[in-house]
Amino acid sequence: MKQNYWNVSDEQAIEKSDKNIADWIQILDKLNASDIKLNDIVAHLQKEYDIPRYWARTITTVYLKQKQNP
Protein backbone atom coordinates (compact mmCIF):
# COMPACT_ATOMS: atom_id res chain seq x y z
CA MET A 1 0.00 0.00 0.00
CA LYS A 2 1.29 3.45 -0.83
CA GLN A 3 2.45 5.44 2.17
CA ASN A 4 0.29 8.44 1.24
CA TYR A 5 -2.85 6.36 0.61
CA TRP A 6 -4.58 7.72 3.73
CA ASN A 7 -3.49 11.34 3.18
CA VAL A 8 -6.86 12.99 2.78
CA SER A 9 -7.18 16.70 2.13
CA ASP A 10 -9.74 18.88 3.86
CA GLU A 11 -11.28 19.54 0.46
CA GLN A 12 -11.82 15.81 -0.14
CA ALA A 13 -13.26 15.29 3.35
CA ILE A 14 -15.62 18.25 2.98
CA GLU A 15 -16.74 17.12 -0.48
CA LYS A 16 -17.57 13.61 0.73
CA SER A 17 -18.69 14.25 4.32
CA ASP A 18 -19.45 17.99 4.73
CA LYS A 19 -16.77 18.33 7.44
CA ASN A 20 -13.02 18.88 7.44
CA ILE A 21 -10.48 16.60 9.11
CA ALA A 22 -10.21 18.79 12.23
CA ASP A 23 -14.00 18.62 12.69
CA TRP A 24 -13.93 14.83 12.43
CA ILE A 25 -11.08 14.59 14.91
CA GLN A 26 -13.10 16.63 17.42
CA ILE A 27 -16.18 14.48 16.85
CA LEU A 28 -14.22 11.24 17.25
CA ASP A 29 -12.38 12.55 20.32
CA LYS A 30 -15.74 13.31 21.98
CA LEU A 31 -16.82 9.77 21.10
CA ASN A 32 -13.60 8.39 22.65
CA ALA A 33 -13.13 6.60 19.36
CA SER A 34 -9.62 5.44 20.18
CA ASP A 35 -11.24 3.06 22.69
CA ILE A 36 -13.80 1.67 20.23
CA LYS A 37 -13.41 -1.01 17.56
CA LEU A 38 -12.84 0.37 14.09
CA ASN A 39 -15.94 -1.24 12.58
CA ASP A 40 -18.11 0.18 15.38
CA ILE A 41 -16.79 3.68 14.72
CA VAL A 42 -17.45 3.28 11.00
CA ALA A 43 -21.01 2.10 11.67
CA HIS A 44 -21.58 5.03 14.02
CA LEU A 45 -20.40 7.55 11.43
CA GLN A 46 -22.58 5.99 8.77
CA LYS A 47 -25.65 6.00 10.99
CA GLU A 48 -25.24 9.34 12.76
CA TYR A 49 -23.71 11.39 9.94
CA ASP A 50 -25.05 9.59 6.86
CA ILE A 51 -21.72 9.33 5.10
CA PRO A 52 -20.73 6.51 2.75
CA ARG A 53 -18.99 3.52 4.30
CA TYR A 54 -15.77 4.14 2.36
CA TRP A 55 -15.51 7.66 3.76
CA ALA A 56 -16.51 6.62 7.26
CA ARG A 57 -13.70 4.08 7.16
CA THR A 58 -11.25 6.58 5.66
CA ILE A 59 -12.02 9.21 8.30
CA THR A 60 -11.73 6.61 11.06
CA THR A 61 -8.38 5.38 9.74
CA VAL A 62 -7.03 8.92 9.42
CA TYR A 63 -8.14 9.60 13.00
CA LEU A 64 -6.56 6.44 14.41
CA LYS A 65 -3.30 7.04 12.51
CA GLN A 66 -3.10 10.56 13.92
CA LYS A 67 -3.68 9.25 17.44
CA GLN A 68 -0.87 6.71 16.97
CA ASN A 69 1.54 9.29 15.51
CA PRO A 70 0.68 12.70 17.00
Q: What is the pLDDT of residues 18-67, one digit of tens each?
A: 999 999 999 999 999 999 999 999 999 999 999 999 999 999 999 998 88
Among 13, 26, 22, CA closest to 52: 13
Is residue 1 domain-resident? Answer: no
Q: Which residues neighbour 60 within 8 Å (Cβ) at sequence distance 6 or greater?
A: 28, 33, 38, 41, 42, 45
Is residue 2 domain-resident? Answer: no
Return the pLDDT at 5: 59
Is residue 4 domain-resident? Answer: no
Return the pLDDT at 66: 87
Does the pLDDT of residue 12 top 80, yes or no? yes
pTM of the entire structure? 0.86
Q: How many domains does the chain have?
A: 1
Is residue 24 domain-resident? Answer: yes
Domain that holds residue 44: 10-68
Is residue 14 domain-resident? Answer: yes
Return the pLDDT at 1: 44
Is residue 3 domain-resident? Answer: no
Is residue 64 domain-resident? Answer: yes
Is residue 52 domain-resident? Answer: yes
